[in-house]
Every structure is written in C-alpha cells, then in structure tokens.
Amino acid sequence: MTLTIGVDVGGTKVAGGVVDDTGKVLVQARRDTPADDVGKTRDVIIELVTELATGHDIGAVGIGAAGWIDASRSTVLFAPNLAWRDEPLREYVSTATGLPVIVENDGNVAAWAEFRYGAARDADDSMVMFTIGTGVGGGIVLGGELLRGANGIAAELGHMLTVPDGHQCGCGRLGCIEQYASGSALVRFARAAARQEPQRATALLELAGGDAEAVTGPMVTAAAKAGDPVSADRAQMLDPQGLVVGGGVVEAGDLLLGPTRRSFTDALAQRSRLPVAEVRPAELGNTAGVIGAADLARRL
C-alpha cells in the first residue's frame, strides 16, 4: 500500500493528512495560515509534512494551493488571498523534506478527489466542480484527466466576469463571480440587507445580537432555514457526466442546491430536454483537498 501526504493550503488554515491508495485519510494535522508572510507559510507547510511523515513510509507529497499554479505544477504564480507571487513552492518543500512534491490548484485537487472517491466517482471520464467557500473555485475533469490548460491555470471558475465594473476582486479584476456567489459575498449582502431592512431580518439580527456587522455565514444559513426572507447561468459547454457543488455553503443543503438545480435547468432552456448532468453536493467535505492532493502525488 502506497502512502502519500496531501496538504490543503487556504487563506486561513493549512490542513494535511496521510492518505492510502483507497482515499482513506489515516492521520490528520492542521495549522493556521500566516497568509501575509510567504516564508512563514512555507515553514508551516514543511513543519506539517515533517510531522505527518514521522512513522510512515511516504512516497510523495501533494499540495493544493489557493492560487494559479504553473504548467509544471511547481510554482505558485499568484494567489489572490495569500502573499505568494512566483513562489517556487515545490522546490522549497521537496528540498526540506527529501520527498517528491507536486503543487496543484486547490479547486483542482478537490475536484479530483470528488471524481475519484466522492460525489462523481461513478462518472467514467468527466465532471465539473464548483467549490464555494470564502471564495469560488473549481475544477474540470475531461477524459479522466484534470483540465489544466496550456499554462496550468485553466478552470478558474470563480474569476469569470459576471458584473462589468462590479466589486473589486482579489485577482485585480472587477465583477468576478467570486464577488457575488461566494460565502464572503453572501455575508456582505446579508449585512447590507440587515442594515437596510432590519424589520425583514429579525431572525438574522437576533442571531447576531442586533449588530448587522456581526453577521456570519452560518448565521445566514440558520436564519434562512428558519424562514428569514432576507437570507432566504452558465449553460453546459463541456457536457460533463456530473456537476458537483462543494465548499462551506453546501451545508445549507437544498436551501442552496434546490435553486441551483432549477436555475441550471432554466439556463439550458430547450437543451434541458436532452440528457444533462445531475447537480450533486460534494461528499468529502473538508478532506477533499487533502485526499485529492495526495492522490495526484501518487501519480508522479
């Protein structure tokens, strides 16, 4: 049995695990992300890998990073929510740990995990995944392989233009879908609505102690499930076998997926009469990034 380590690096946490060849996470560890310090973030990753490798025969390390990764899967070219700019992450981690390392986009590794072991495991060769958390990410599998593009930066689904001249995005553009459909956008809209229409957001404000600025994502979900009215299109280009929605907002269940399925069908118009992909919730939760990165490392 080949063991690999998967590391999922996000804006607030670095999660890691030792994963076997069935996708089972045997050991886990976690650290906070010093997101504004490149060197400290690198050191946290190395520290985590070293801890996880102790007592295990590790074949390789996979790192899922929230950013654009080059075609060689070694350098983080740019990370909207981290301080990485042309960061040779694979070289640093491999040198420090003595292990082969692969670096991949975090949305890609989550998609790969769901394709191999999760909600799309019954798909033969294709799926699309949206990850909706603090930001919006995604991954595309075609022909049984991740779609990475000529430069390694394909499938950045959260940075498609949605609203011309809209809200400023961390990637430098205006109006990306991430600024309108992410967990952080949900909180921003809910706070504004609670300020402007407090009489319609009584449940939400009660959860927030009467302070609209104290509203959080879980509060919005709880208020929406309780019936609070304030809380309460893209047609297929790739014809995938499955569409998977993951990330923290999936905890809302059919509150999110019900309208998503209806909007998806409506956007397809007459094409919805043909076979179309089923919209499914992700199954692997917070371990998807770890499992996907580890499985990709096994393929080095």
- Residue type for position 162: T
Neighbours of 291 (CB within 10 A): 28
Question: Does residue 236 have a pLDDT over 50?
Answer: no
> CA gyration radius for the chain?
20
Across 98-124, average pLDDT? 95
Of 238, 214, 292, 291, give the one whose Cα is nearest residue 25. 291
Fold assignment, 3-111+287-298? Nucleotidyltransferase; domain 5 (3.30.420)
Helix (H) or strand (E) holding 141: strand 136-142
3-state SS, one letter per residue, for 25-93: EEEEEEEECCCCCHHHHHHHHHHHHHHHHCCCCEEEEEEEECCEECCCCCCEEECCCCCCEEECHHHHH
Quick one: 150 exposed, middle or buried, by C-beta within 10 A (0-12, 13-18, 19+)? exposed
- Asked which of 22-31, 119-128, 146-155 is least confident by mean pLDDT, the reply is 146-155
Summarised one tens digit per residue, pLDDT across range 161-173 is: 778 888 888 777 8
CA distance 124 to 239: 13
Q: What was the pLDDT predicted at 232? A: 42
pLDDT top residue among 284 and 184: 284
Q: Phi, psi (5° rounding) for residue 101?
A: -135, 145
Q: What is the pTM of this model?
A: 0.81
Which stretches of the chain are DSSP H helices? 38-53, 89-97, 106-117, 178-181, 183-196, 202-207, 217-225, 254-268, 288-298
Q: What was the pLDDT predicted at 255? A: 64
Question: Does residue 27 have a pLDDT over 90?
Answer: yes
Q: Which residues of 236-248 are buried (b: 16+ CB within 10 A; e: fewer)?
A: beeebbbbbbbbb
- Domain parsing of the chain, residue ranges: 3-111+287-298
CA distance 46 to 239: 40
Across 69-97, average pLDDT? 93
- Asked which of 33-47, 67-81, 106-120, 170-184 is least confident by mean pLDDT, the reply is 170-184
